[in-house]
């Protein structure tokens, strides 16, 4: 498949089942809502080393938030419910409780409820008070800037993590520019986050390693400097590869964001230096969800 002179590989991205949640963070203004959200979603690029993958989903206007202040919504994903609960509590305590003027609210409905401020309330040392408003329980915790307000719980849902595509370009600046263009377009898609720095990852991995203790290592088939050494996936003209990883609430959300991102790159055309779009998988045996690039992009062109 070729779109606007850019080749789309006949391959698929392999994704995994995850647990996800959404938290709405509000503050006095967007600046402080972002301070809180950026802290909360910091060091959350990959479940391998961070426990969770998290990111800011989008900015919220005052009429979209429970307390009528400006805010942002944050999505957080983990491989299991236990890790998600533990990470959410830790990050609430260290990043939201601590951030001036910030408040936190449930951002997703579900029968599975996990603690948002339920245990954090004990920081109030007996001076915490709860309010039950319209069937939802909130906690008011006295802090030095006034009062920290948080909902007791938020919903936890089944989600999918690890949707991805690879951008193969003639130079590093070309690959980066294409990746940035894709991320700008993908940020407008709801229910997904791209958890890596700036949404882009340059160190794609393969399963296993020559070192027995390592269970993942550099994806040598896509490393341009190893073209002559290994069974490379790269042709002579490819000098840089970058990957965009997507976590989302549903299969369709991830498929939509992949389509929007790839289309944005293809719209740049041949002059962008992008030659090919591919995807990362493990042969299809590890993850139950397969995002086939040709299927995804044929919806876009129809």
Question: Which 8-state DSSP code applies to residue 112?
Answer: S
Cβ(103)–Cβ(69) under 8 Å?
yes
Residues 6 or more apart from 288 whose CB is under 8 A from it?
15, 16, 17
Buried b (16+ CB within 10 A) or exposed e, 98-136: ebebbbbbbbbebeeebbbbbebbebbeeebeeeeeeee
In the complex, least distance from residue 146 CB atom to other proteins, rounded to whole angstroms = 6
Handedness of CA 273, 299, 77, 189 (dihedral sign): positive
Site size with other proteins, rule: CB under 8 A: 18
Compare residues 33 and 246 and give the one whose CB is closer to other proteins: 33
* 284 lies in the site for other proteins, by CB under 8 A: no
Please state, in angstroms and rounded to a whole number, the distance separating the CA atoms of residues 238 and 135: 58
Does residue 69 bind other proteins (CB under 8 A)? yes
Q: Which is nearer to other proteins, 13 or 99 (CB)?
A: 99
Residue 101 Ramachandran class (φ > 0 left, ψ -120 to 50 alpha, else beta): left
Stretch that binds other proteins, among 62-70, 154-162, 264-272, 281-289 (CB under 8 A): 62-70
Smallest distance from other proteins to CB 62, Å: 10
Residue 140, interface with other proteins (CB under 8 A)? yes
Rule CB under 8 A: say whether 149 interacts with other proteins: yes
Residue list 98-137, contact with other proteins (CB under 8 A): 103, 126-127, 129-134
Among 32, 77, 138, 222, binds other proteins (CB under 8 A): 138
Residues in contact with other proteins by the rule CB under 8 A: 66-69, 103, 126-127, 129-134, 138, 140, 146-147, 149
């Amino acid at each position: 498949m070729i779109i606007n002179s850019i080749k789309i590989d006949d391959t698929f991205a392999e994704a995994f089942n995850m647990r996800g949640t959404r938290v709405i963070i509000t503050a006095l203004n967007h600046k402080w809502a972002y301070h809180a959200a950026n802290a909360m979603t910091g060091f959350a690029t990959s479940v391998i080393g961070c426990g969770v993958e998290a990111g800011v989903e989008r900015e919220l206007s005052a009429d979209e938030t429970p307390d009528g202040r400006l805010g942002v919504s944050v999505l957080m994903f983990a491989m299991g419910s236990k890790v998600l609960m533990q990470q959410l509590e830790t990050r609430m305590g260290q990043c939201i409780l601590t951030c001036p003027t910030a408040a936190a609210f449930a951002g997703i409905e579900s029968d599975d409820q996990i603690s948002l401020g339920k245990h954090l309330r004990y920081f109030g040392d007996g001076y915490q008070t709860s309010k039950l408003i319209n069937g939802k329980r909130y906690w008011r915790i006295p802090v030095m800037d006034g009062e920290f307000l948080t909902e007791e719980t938020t919903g936890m849902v089944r989600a999918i993590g690890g949707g991805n595509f690879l951008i193969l370009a003639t130079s590093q600046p070309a690959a980066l520019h294409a990746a940035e263009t894709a991320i700008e377009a993908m940020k407008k898609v709801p229910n997904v986050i791209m958890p890596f720095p700036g949404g882009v990852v340059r160190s794609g991995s393969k399963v296993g390693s020559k070192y027995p203790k390592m269970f993942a290592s550099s994806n040598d088939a896509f490393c341009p400097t190893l073209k002559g050494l290994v069974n490379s996936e790269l042709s002579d003209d490819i000098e840089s590869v970058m990957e965009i990883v997507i976590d989302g609430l549903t299969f369709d959300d991830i498929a939509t964001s992949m389509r929007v991102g790839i289309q944005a790159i293809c719209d740049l055309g041949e002059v962008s230096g992008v030659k090919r779009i591919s995807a990362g998988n493990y042969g299809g045996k590890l993850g139950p969800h397969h995002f086939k690039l040709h299927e995804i992009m044929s919806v876009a062109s129809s």
